[in-house]
Structure 1
Amino acid sequence: MLKIDNRKALHRLADKSFRANRGRNLIAILAIILTTILFTSVFSIGGNLIASFQYSTMLQSGGSAHGTFKDLTQEQFERLKQAAPAGAILDRNIICAYEVENPEFLKRHLELWYQQPDAYERRFCQLTGGRAPQAADEIAMDERSLELLGITPEEGQTITLQLKMGYDQPVIERQFTLVGWFGYSDIMNTGFGIVSEAYLTEHADELAEASEQTGSQVGIIQCDVTFSNGINISGKLRAMAEKAGLAEEVEWNENWAYVGAGITDWTSIGAVAGLLLLIMLTGYLIIYNIFQISVMQDIRYYGLLKTIGTTAKQIRQILRRQALVLCGFGIPVGLVLGFLLGTAFTPLILQMLNTVDEVKLALNPAVFLGAAAFSVITVLLSMRKPARLAAKVSPVEAVRYTEGNGKAAKKAKRSTGGGKLWRMALSNVGRNKRRAVLVVLSMSLSLVLMNSVFTLTGSFDMDKYLARFIKTDFVVANARYWGIDSFRALDGEDAVSDTLIANVQAQEGFVQGGAIWCDIYSWTEEYQWPEDTIWDEAGNPCRNDGKNRPQAVDEGKNPLTVIYGADDFILNNLQVMEGERDPETILQKLSTGEYILFAGQVNDEGKLEPNQRHKAGDVVTLYDADGARYTFTILSVINPAYYCETAQASFSEFVYYTTADVYAGMCNTANKMNYAFEVEPESVDAMEKYLSFYTTQIGPLMDYRSRDGYIQEYSGIRFLFVAVGGSLSLVIGLIGVLNFINSILTGIVTRRREFAMLEAIGMTRRQLQTMVMLEGSCYALFTILCSLAMGVGVSLLCVKPLVDGLFFTSYRFVIWPLLAAVPVLVVLGLLVPRLALHFGAGQPVVERMRQAE
């Protein structure tokens, strides 16, 4: 068989056919643009979020190294250097103080480190001025810490630091000379001071003694490792340790900032994959429908091509070329608009999440390549089936084709109602069931997504959100209470200022308030652990919460006990889970000294965990610091608010609450943890301004939290879900509406001959308009029914589990967004068919029948 190069002829046929259908091509291009916008915006937002979160997480983890070997001796460090793979960089870092006690660093604490000068950049301590310290008394510090000390970044400035080498060690005042400084990040609320190698030598004995304390990291090497790439970080660290013969002696961990270093969250992976599939499905539905209708409209044209010898393969090539040309017009526009949309949304998302210090926006080629590839794949998949249909149709079938004529003839049925317009409309919709399903499904997807977004945001529960953080208008406490460390019951060292409390009570608009005290101590007699207690490998008891977390114990394996004393104002607001619930009865019985409240373990769904240490009615014996015995009956099991009614530490299951008077008889009254209070509504702003002034100018060691501040955070989270979800719904909704309009328009164009014949046998123009409007109404009705069914299913199966997993939501199914869409669908169903039929109505019936042929 003679092979002829006919590619140019095929290209000309494809191009001329393309140019002959400008209106239909415009719809297809718009669909491709919207689909590409979806892909690009998702990839762009995802890429920017990953880059920003990765940079932010590096700041939190302390550096950009791939991993860290922890708590090494010098000899172990040398062995790891010998075992390191080619290209790996090892940084030797040593923490030089347990704590820097300067009061200026209470709200933003300072860490004192030795770091190699060539490692400054990898630890985000790259100098912006001065030089690296060399002498034993020289130091480099971040500019924010210098600002807190009131020191200008200039070489030669004297800095006095109050250092502690251990938890219970005395404070050492040490003077340094500032020789260098660097920028800072507030994301971790931490400052850094860097000393020299000479400092390690001069204070070697001090550091060695500190390193011998239990659990101390002072004076011990932390080795950061940066490999030539970030692939299989955990495996490389293990290989280094095994090669050095230290696999059983040292600990290591990969830097959790590197995305993919150890991904095990298959739920998140599944959610991302599901989102991509949803987008591809939505784009596929409309583009497939466009190509299918296009083929149906031009089916006679393809039949004529086959009569002159065009093969099925060549027809598929013609359609594929047209699809790629459409991609060439639509994808670049979609890429640009999608990138702009993603770039606009990324800072908004990060701002609302309030977890990233710096937004990383990058013109990443992978975003454009990935979005373009997904769009092209979607288009090519969408046109495959219509192309096969065009390729296999015979010339005779093509010339005589009318929509639905390929099916077997139905048995004739005698009826007096068959000619009714609504029956004809319903029959026409069901003539091509596949197309009807695609139109209904594509519109239903957007409505279901929209309804899911409103269900999610409608389930946001502000009271539930606030209950976890604050129950009153304001809470004041020592700044350490909201710092990195939890409240420490150290004989009043972290106590809230009585002066501040008195000043608050004297402010205009003050209504009422109450304080909470806290004391922590060990049992003075041996505690008998239950037989079902789980013990860890170190021989310590685990908490009875099903998660095998360690329980804090003393050297004798006795549990640490936490006892809170609270004023009546606080006790009246505690959440009771089990036992006595009446506030007056609780106060009355607690005041007798015979009853006490037990803080139970509550899961994320707000229910008590099984196997609590105590239940209501149990009798417990507690001890004070002097060993005196106190016997109590558990009156109620409560769920205290973690961020305002506890020390923000969860090391013990043995936690109890009582009145301030009972507490004063057995515990340290110097440990006043915080003070919560209410004010008149009109005085909230004035009190906010006063507390801001007091905690910055008068008592910088104090700090506060307000209900309005948490409400703003809540509103930001809610707005984030509405903005992102609503925008996604809008884009998919536009695709659904476009698909509906395109289906109606091209369907009517395809049936021009049929409509002309109906008019020829006596159907009036008004009856024809009524029929096609009823057809559009049928599509609208089926879409509403499908959306309701799918919406309920998606809400219960997908949205509800998501809502149940968020602590600040209470599931509320909403249906009003779907109901609100009903009028819009009805208008579209009536208006679009009528407008479509209007075009070409001025031509005579004979002329329209001749054009259809």
Structure 2
Amino acid sequence: MIWPFENDTDAIVKKLAKKSLASEKRRNLMVVAAVALAAFLICFAAVIPVSIAQIQRNQVADTYEAVFTGVDASDTAALKKRPEFARVGEYYLLGEEHSRQGYNVSYVYCDSEMMYIARSQMELIKGRLPELANEVAVSEYFLSAYDTGAEIGETVRLDTESFHGDYTVTGILESEGEQEANTCVAVVSKTALAQHPGFDPSGYRAYVHFQNDRQLGEETMTAHCREIAAQYGLPHVAMNSNYFAYHSRPIDFVPTFGIAALALFGGYVVIQSIFRISVHDKIQSYGQLRTIGATAKQIRRIVKRESRRLCCIGILPGVLLGAGGGLLLFPKGFHVGWYGLAALLTAVACWFMVSISVLRPVKIAANISPLQAVRLSVGQETVHGREKHRKLSPLSMGFANFQRDRKRSVSIVASLSLGGILLLVVSSIVLTRSPGQIARLLFPDGDYKIYLSSEQPEEEVMAAGNPLNEELRKQILSVDGVRSVLATRRSLHGKFRTSADDGAGMCDMLTDENRLDVEAALVSGIMPEDSRSVLLGTNYQKALGDIEAGEDIWLSLGRETVTVTISGLFDAEKMANGHGALTMDSAALFAPEELFLDLHPEIDSFDYSWSIVSAPEKSESVESGLKEIVSGHSNLGLDTLAAHIEYEKMQSSIIFGSMQAVSCLIFLFGVVNLINTTLSNQMSRKRESSILRSIGLTGKQLCQMNIAEGMCYAFFAALATVIVGVPVSVVICMEVSKKSFAGKIVPYRFPFLEMGLFILVLFGMELILSVWTVRRQKKQSLAEQISFNI
């Protein structure tokens, strides 16, 4: 603000700031790079959770809130007529069948409404749905991998058990996760469905979407769907928990705040260091301005204007790169409003960072008096605790240069070590949570599992003759390399409910083999003492209204429903024993053997999963032999340790790979600071170095002096990384180990490879910069350098 009695000097300040910017291109480049890097990190960290949340919301938006199972075509038609439903999709899952060519085909029937509801998992990208018995819609993966690239109207050959022969392609689908699971999706017509030998008229599912879903809550929708089920006599209705979770879940910005804090701190250290060096180099210029009448306020305005101009220049590319990176990784998660807000908050954060960073340099520039500026020569800093009679050598002179400006040295070491500490922590977590160790939790006995995998209820498969029988055991043992077969799970699929909530999952039998493990996983209550007591997993506790031990529920293991008491709750993470990448069939309940026998006396064997113990050196022959055995049984599945390891590697590469990338970007702050300091030292000490050379210091000794100074920065940065990073890594890895390995703490492993590369880059960069500085000075004569006036 300009008071009436003051002269308006804005134009002069603006011109002086413009001239100063034009004279310091190197400093400008360093500041813009630091601001752009900070803006990129903050914006990228902000748009990632926004994009993920948007993708999740897009997946459930306008899809379905509830699904009625066990309905027939007339029930679906009646539901379609109800005015409160905007959309009702008809769906029937025939099951997965193995092809002689080596792939699996999942056959389904769905109408056009269902295809729209399931568009995020399966989308019809070309053509139409089949209508005749000899028509089929297949996925792009099927056509590209196992056929000759047939188009709409051409024929494809299916060679599975239920569907064999030539079929006309009416549509092409795009389905999620086919290549990873080696399973192709095929949609058949309703006519072909009715002709299928295993067709059950009451096996349809109806997916419903409410008209005014935004105005209705989960409780209202659930209660209304149950009323409809009771009205039509429908057996079961399940609510889409993902819909209610993703539709209203707040965006988690905690990781964003963490990364933003690191980026702001790194940027603050670097920018403050750069401007301190700049102000110190131009201290005589500021003194001259004070001599001709410039006020301290005008000096402050000059420096602030420079910083703001550079901040604006750096923010734009940083924001564009951050938003572009998020858009490139998650193109389906773009949201104009959220991306715009992320860019705005990034700009505000960076503006605040730069404003805080230049406070100290601005104060130094404004407080300099004309007399001090004349007496202070460029390159002359305050020396702390100088010792007398010190023996001079290139090494001791390099150490002395390192100690000249302690604040600058500390800022460089801090900025360099910050990225190293992050890299150390992330790399340690990766070693602790190794994919092999995580996958081994699901395979404590062997590397392979054979389990029941059928669209029919487990009790029906077992009652008809459990395929996990003695004959199959002999077949498996005959495979070269197989040592033994262990029955690890006896289980049935169960449905359980209270008066207000319901759920479904696998109910495992308590046996002598698993009792001790289950008891160790107990978090509350006691073990079952009679045939009407069960244990419930903590992951289903909330689904039943935060039910506690001692309360009753209704449990169905088939058609009969009984009342049982929850005697205790067990930690679901400690008892994860499912199959497939997501282990969706892990135990939800544990019940005594007497309950299984009371409800299903017709079943002789409740075996659900077998572990195959084999010789590691014969893994190829074992896996091929087991695949051949499983391919001959339509209701069996094969799960392998190798598949879980690959899945965990993929997950780790996404999560921890991005964290390692962030740590490397943070390390770049230190690199920017180091380069700026090195170049500033070259300019400010050029005359000093030339005088030393003129009195006998050789070029080799000058190089040694610069290398010694640079090695001090690298050494103390590495030391700070180890001293601070190792304790932090140990503590964090202990917590990660507890969560990943069911409370077990695995020994800490130091990431020698990653930290070795970090040390190599750190010292190598210092060496290169030191040598380059000396070589650049040699291009000028001593006379030119001595007479050079900064």
Residue number in structure 2 paired with 1:454: 427
| Partner secondary structure for residue 449 of structure 2 | strand
1:798-813 to 2 correspondences below 5 Å: 798-807=732-741, 810=746, 812-813=748-749
The structure-2 alpha-carbon separation of the partners of 1:252 and 1:8, relative to structure 1 and needing over 3 Å to count, comes to farther
Alignment partner for residue 513 of structure 1, among 485, 490, 497?
Answer: 485
Q: Structure 1, residues 447-479: CA drift from partner, whole Å, max 9, x if none?
A: 111211221122134553233333424333332
- How far did residue 312 of structure 1 move? 4.3
Distance in 2 (alpha carbons) for counterparts of 1:647 and 1:843: 72
Alignment-mate amino acid for residue 463 of structure 2: D
Give yes or no for the alignment of 1:185 onto 2:175: yes
Match of 1:464 among 414, 434, 437: 437
Match of 1:791 in 2: 725
Whole-Å separation in 2 of the counterparts to 1:102 and 1:127: 22
* C-alpha distance in structure 1 between counterparts of 2:505 and 2:780, whole Å: 90
Residues 793-824 of structure 1: per-residue CA shift (max 9 Å, x gap): 32134444234322499352416354664565
Change (3 A) 1:185 1:54: farther
Q: Which residue of 1 aligns with 2:332?
A: 360
2:26 to 8, 23, 26: 23
In 1, the alpha carbon distance for the partners of 2:121 and 2:653 equals 35
Q: 1:163-220 deviations in whole A, cap 9, x for unaligned?
A: xxxxxxxxxxxxxxx9997845345999889999xx9xxxxxx99xx8xxxxx9978x
What letter matches 2:364 in structure 1?
L
Q: Distance in 1 between matches of 2:387 and 2:441?
A: 71
User: Counterparts of 1:444 and 1:256 in 2: how far apart (Å)?
Assistant: 42
1:397 to 372, 396, 405: 372
The residue correspondences of 1:418-567 to structure 2 (distance < 5 A) are 428-470=401-443, 471-480=445-454, 490-492=462-464, 495-496=467-468, 503-515=475-487, 518=490, 538=499, 562=509
Measure the CA separation in 1 of the matches of 2:636 and 2:115: 37
Give the corresponding residue for 2:587: 650
**Cα separation, 2, equivalents of 1:218 and 1:332:** 51
**Contact 1:64–1:123 (CA under 8 A) maintained in structure 2:** no
1:91–1:224: 8 Å Cα contact kept in structure 2?
yes
The change in CA–CA distance for 1:775 and 1:144 in structure 2 (over 3 A counts) is closer
Distance 1:601 1:37 in 2: 48
TM score, norm. by length of structure 1: 0.63
Given the alignment of the two structures, is residue 685 of structure 1 paired with residue 620 of structure 2, yes or no?
yes
Structure 2 residue 195 is matched with structure 1 residue 237: no
> Superposition pairs for residues 224-263 of structure 1, below 5 Å?
224-225=210-211, 236-238=215-217, 256=242, 261-263=247-249
Q: Give the residue type in structure 1 aligned to 2:647.
A: E
Q: Choose the corresponding residue for 1:702, options 625, 636, 644.
A: 636
Note if contact 2:486-2:612 (Cα within 8 Å) is conserved in structure 1. yes
Structure 1 match to 2:303: 319
Q: Could you tell me the TM-score, scaled by structure 2's length?
A: 0.67
Specify the SS of the correspondent of 2:61.
Answer: coil
Letter in 2 for 1:562: M
Q: 1:91 aligns with which of 76, 86, 96?
A: 86
Structure 1 residues 429 and 37, CA, compared in 2 at 3 Å: closer, same or farther?
same
CA distance in 2, matches of 1:643, 1:247: 30
- Counterpart amino acid of residue 389 in structure 1: I
Name 1:629's counterpart in structure 2: none
2:518 is aligned with 1:601: yes
Q: How does 1:96-495 map to 2 (within 5 A)?
A: 108=106, 110=108, 115=113, 129-130=127-128, 143=138, 183=173, 185-186=175-176, 222-225=208-211, 236-238=215-217, 256=242, 261-263=247-249, 269-323=253-307, 325-327=309-311, 330=314, 334=318, 346=329, 360=332, 366=340, 374-375=349-350, 377-401=352-376, 415-417=388-390, 428-470=401-443, 471-480=445-454, 490-492=462-464, 495=467
Match of 1:632 in 2: none
Match of 1:631 in 2: none
1:404·1:431 contact (CA, 8 Å) conserved in 2? no
Give the partner amino acid of 1:185: S
Match of 1:578 in 2: none
**Offset at residue 398 of structure 1 (A):** 3.0
Q: What is the aligned counterpart of 1:65 among 62, 66, 83?
A: 62
The alpha carbon displacement at 1:395 in A equals 2.9
- Gap change, CA 1:92 and 1:766, over 3 Å in 2: closer
Aligned equivalents of 1:300, 1:124: Cα separation in 2: 70
Q: Which residue of 2 aligns with 1:836?
A: 773
Given that 2:124 and 2:174 are in contact with CA atoms closer than 8 Å, whether structure 1 keeps it comes out as: no
Alignment of 1:41-56 (within 5 A): 41-43=44-46, 45-46=48-49, 48-55=51-58
Is the Cα contact below 8 Å between 1:517 and 1:669 reproduced in 2? no
- 1:642 match: secondary structure: coil
In 1, distance between residues paired with 2:116 and 2:176? Answer: 24
CA–CA distance in structure 2, aligned partners of residues 66 and 283 of structure 1? 44
Q: 8 Å contact 1:100–1:112 — kept in the other structure?
A: no
C-alpha distance in structure 1 between counterparts of 2:592 and 2:415, whole Å:
55
C-alpha displacement of 1:613: 3.7
Q: Distance between the aligned counterparts of 1:794 and 1:3, measured in 2?
A: 56
SS at match of 1:237: coil
Shift of 1:416: 4.1
Q: 1:113 to 1:335 in 2, by over 3 A?
A: same
Alpha-carbon distance between aligned partners in 2 of 1:507 and 1:536, rounded to the nearest angstrom: 44
CA distance in 1, matches of 2:114, 2:590: 43
CA distance in 2, matches of 1:324, 1:117: 54
Query: Equivalents in 2 of 1:655, 1:370: separation in Å?
Result: 57
The amino acid of 2:517's aligned partner reads: G
> What is the percentage of aligned positions where both structures have the same residue?
19
For 2:231, the equivalent position in structure 1 comes to none
Moved more, 297-306 or 721-730: 721-730
> Contact 1:455–1:814 (CA<8 Å) still a contact in 2?
yes
C-alpha displacement at 1:29, in angstroms? 3.8
Aligned residues: 696
Structure 1 residue ranges without an equivalent (≥5):
82-89, 156-177, 200-205, 211-215, 228-232, 348-358, 523-534, 541-548, 554-559, 565-594, 626-637
In structure 1, the residue corresponding to 2:463 is in which secondary structure? coil
Q: Distance in 1 between matches of 2:360 and 2:457?
A: 63
Q: Which string of whole-angstrom CA distances, capped at 9 and with x for unpartnered residues, describes residues 773-792 of structure 1?
A: 44333323322221122102
Matches within 5 A, 1:665-684: 668-679=603-614, 681=616, 683-684=618-619
CA distance, structure 2, for counterparts of residue 620 and residue 131 of structure 1: 49
CA RMSD of aligned residues (A): 6.2
Letter in 1 for 2:19: K
SS across alignment from 2:667: helix
Cα distance between partner residues in 1 of 2:757 and 2:98:
57
Asked if the contact 1:112/1:192 (under 8 Å) is kept, the reply is yes
Matched to 2:332, the amino acid is K
Amino acid aligned to 1:677: I
User: Cα distance, 1:444 vs. partner?
Assistant: 0.5
Relative distance call for 1:784 and 1:680 in structure 2 (3 A) is closer
Query: How far does the alpha carbon of each residue in 1:534-578 deviate from its partner, in whole angstroms, 9 at most, with x for none?
Result: x997599xxxxxxxx99999xxxxxx88256xxxxxxxxxxxxxx
Equivalent residue letter for 2:428: T
Give per-residue Cα distances to partners, 1:18-76, cap 9 Å, x unaligned: 23223333333443444444345545655554454555xx2xxxx42287378899999
Matched residues in 1 for 2:257 and 2:311: separation?
A: 24
Q: Distance in 2 between matches of 1:123 and 1:246?
A: 27
- 1:518 aligns to what SS in structure 2? strand
Cross-structure match for 1:715: 649
Cα offset for 1:285?
Answer: 2.1
Contact 1:37 1:338 in 2 (8 A): yes
Q: 1:517 to 1:109 in 2, by over 3 A?
A: farther
CA distance in structure 2 between the aligned counterparts of 1:497 and 1:536, rounded to whole angstroms: 33
